[in-house]
Structure 1
Amino acid sequence: MEERIYLSMLLSTYGSLLTEKQVNVMRLYYDDDLSMPEIAELNNTTRQAIHDLIKRCHKMLLNYENKLKLVEKYKRNEDIKKDIKDKLYILKDKIQDKDNVQLIDEIEKDINSFSI
């Protein structure tokens, strides 16, 4: 996975553990794709201060993920959901009984509504 996307996912997951300023700067950098000088100007500070803040937050987010593994678990669960749905599609194609097809549709709906 591209690092920017991964960091954006980490920020979405663990952003509440950062300060408001840290979240704002990280969102500007990772989500809005602003440069460090642009962010520094918006925050009335230096590029170096923004660089240091981004590096510190980057390290913090990776540390949270290394300990809690929430993004990893989310991705794994999404893969499992996809695998189950793929198997249901195969099963649905092989059966003819209307009631069983309806049951498979209900199971698929339940899987789609499942989130962590």
Structure 2
Amino acid sequence: MKKIVEQGLLYDFYGELLTEHQREIYEAAVYNDMSLTEIADENGISKQGVHDLIKRCTNTLESYEDRLHMIRRFEAIKAQAVALEKLSGDSGTNMDAELRAKLKGISGKIIEELI
């Protein structure tokens, strides 16, 4: 399950950098949960060809993340926004209600944009 989530995130961030053919095959495998045989039959290629293409795409997407770190940055920003939202909801802090409401609104908008 974790691998599928990882593949989905990689594709969400870097999928547009793949060719159209690569995107079609990768989406069929990752998002549509089609078997290698089903994908091969639909695209007129061998099952091994599908397997190799998916593996190459995954390696390519991982290499983009290794260089650009967009997913890592996304996760860090999301964690900070969640922490800010939690802090703004903590009534035990010495923050006035107006400031707390503003912070909660800002953090909520950030989280909404990230999701």
What's the TM-score, normalizing by structure 1? 0.86
Query: In the aligned structure 2, how far is the partner of 1:31 from the partner of 1:12?
Result: 11
**8 Å CA contact retained: 2:14, 2:64:** yes
- 1:39-78, aligned counterparts within 5 Å? 39-78=39-78
Aligned counterpart in structure 2 of residue 94 of structure 1, from 75, 92, 95: 92
- CA-based RMSD of the aligned residues comes to 2.0
Q: 2:4: which partner in 1?
A: 4
Cα offset for 1:94?
3.5
> For 1:2-40, what per-residue CA distance to the aligned partner results, in whole angstroms no more than 9, with x for missing partners?
111011100010011101111111111111111111111
The correspondence for 1:113, drawn from 100, 105, 109, is 109
Q: CA deviation at 1:43?
A: 1.0
Structure 2, unaligned runs of 5 or more:
none
TM-score after normalising by structure 2:
0.87
Q: Which runs of 5+ in 1 are unaligned?
A: none
The equivalent residue for 2:81 is: 81
- Aligned position for 2:24: 24
Question: How many percent of aligned residue pairs carry the same amino acid?
Answer: 25
Q: Distance in 2 between matches of 1:94 and 1:102?
A: 15
Runs of 4+ aligned residues of structure 1 deviating over 6 Å after TM superposition are none
Q: How many residues were matched structurally?
A: 112
The SS at the match of 1:32 is coil
The residue type paired with residue 105 of structure 2 is: K
1:94 aligned partner, one-letter code: G
